[in-house]
Structure 1
Amino acid sequence: MEIKVLGTGCTKCKTLEKQTNQAVEELGINADVIKVEDIVEIMNYNIMATPALVINGKVVVKGKVPSTTEIKEFLTK
């Protein structure tokens, strides 16, 4: 599973990255969590508000930080 956290490095982006890593660890799943800070790559996902969470190429959250529980739900769908 490939998970991308899109964001330029703001506090919310860092929080989303931390919570995503926590959710992956708690679920015990095999996943690569990648932090994407390149604005051109972020724009390729048609994201106008960060942070955003992309799971296997699909944008599941943008413009907010979901709870760890919500992230786990996205990962297990």
Structure 2
Amino acid sequence: MKTIKILGTGCPKCKQTESIIKDVIAKVGIEVEVIKVEDIQQIMQYNVLSTPAIVVDEVVKMNGKVPTNREVITLLS
């Protein structure tokens, strides 16, 4: 099972990213663990300078923007 971490301190873009990811997972019907990381110390461990950021299986895949549905599907492939 894949693990997706959404890195962000709770800003509107971070919340939107979380919503999009959960919607895509529900539509596609795959099993994915979604973890929201809001602690700045934990976020800094990923060397991310801008949020929201998406980490898939401990690899930073995207940061600094809200993904589209299509981008999320690509990240999960």
TM-score, scaled to structure 2: 0.95
Q: Following the alignment from structure 2 to structure 1, what is the Cα–Cα distance between the partners of residues 54 and 64?
A: 9
Amino acid across the alignment from 1:34? I
Offset at residue 69 of structure 1 (A): 1.3
Amino acid across the alignment from 2:28? L
Q: Tell me, yes or no, if structure 1 residue 13 matches structure 2 residue 14.
A: yes
After TM superposition, what 4+ stretches of structure 1 lie above 3 angstroms from structure 2? none
Question: 1:28 is matched with which residue?
Answer: 29
Question: 2:56 is matched with which residue?
Answer: 55
The alignment partner of 2:24 has SS state of: helix
Offset at residue 46 of structure 1 (A): 0.2
The alignment partner of 2:17 has SS state of: helix
Q: Following the alignment from structure 2 to structure 1, what is the Cα–Cα distance between the partners of residues 50 and 38?
A: 13
Q: Following the alignment from structure 1 to structure 2, what is the Cα–Cα distance between the partners of residues 23 and 75?
A: 10
Offset at residue 66 of structure 1 (A): 1.2
Q: Tell me, yes or no, if structure 1 residue 4 matches structure 2 residue 5.
A: yes
Please, what is the CA RMSD of the aligned residues?
A: 0.6
Q: Following the alignment from structure 1 to structure 2, what is the Cα–Cα distance between the partners of residues 23 and 73?
A: 11
Q: What stretches of structure 2 of length at least 5 have no aligned partner? A: none
What is the percent sequence identity of the aligned residues? Answer: 46
